[in-house]
Amino acid sequence: MKTDREAAEIEAIKAIVPCMKKKGWRTELASVAKRIDPSLFPTIDAALASATASLPRELDRTSDLTAIKRVNEEIIYTIKTRSDFQSDADTLRRLYDSNPVAARASALNAMKKTLCLPQPNRFLTTGFTMVYETFDARGLLSTQKLVAADC
């Protein structure tokens, strides 16, 4: 049974969360975070090792997927921008510098198109956080995270 204070806190959170989402914030209540059964890790690690063996793989005209790994409860995709498209990466880097909220929102929408549609990725539904780490010739360009609640 919840106390009056806990119930009031939950109501306040319910009122604030939609406003935060409009601003590009992602929220998650820690008490409802899904824990992943550690006995699944060896199977998942084996599947990721198998997938990594076929890399690098072209993602789009500008970038390649170069690595996939699991770190705790995150599945990390490493994406490398091709040197031919460094000018595009520079433009993106300037966007992150000038308007990081818009840049993150754009990147999150791209992740959703890949990982949420038509059905959420099986790692997301299992409870993993999906992470895209994008690199260019200058180093780390961006890190984006997506959880099932974002879908």
Domain-wise residue ranges, the chain: 1-33, 34-150
Q: Is the pLDDT of residue 5 over 80?
A: no
Residue type, 81: T
Q: Is the pLDDT of residue 35 over 90?
A: no
More confident residue, 10 or 96: 96
Q: Is the pLDDT of residue 20 over 80?
A: no
What would the CATH number be for the domain defined by 34-150? Answer: 3.30.300.250
pLDDT tens column, 99-108:
988 888 888 8
CA 63/CA 81 separation, integer angstroms: 4
Entry pTM? 0.73
> Residue range 111-122: average pLDDT?
88
CA 57/CA 64 separation, integer angstroms: 5
Q: What percent of the chain has pLDDT over 90?
A: 34
Q: How many residues does the chain have?
A: 151
Q: Which pLDDT does position 33 carry in this prediction?
A: 47
Output phi, psi for 125, to 5 deg. -70, -25
Structure tokens at 36: 């992943």
Tell me which range, 67-81, 82-96, 116-130, is most confidently predicted by mean pLDDT. 67-81
* Under 8 Å between Cβ of 66 and 78: yes
Structure tokens at 142: 């961006």
Instruction: Using alpha carbons, select from 148, 113, 110, 112 the residue that is nearest to residue 129.
Output: 148
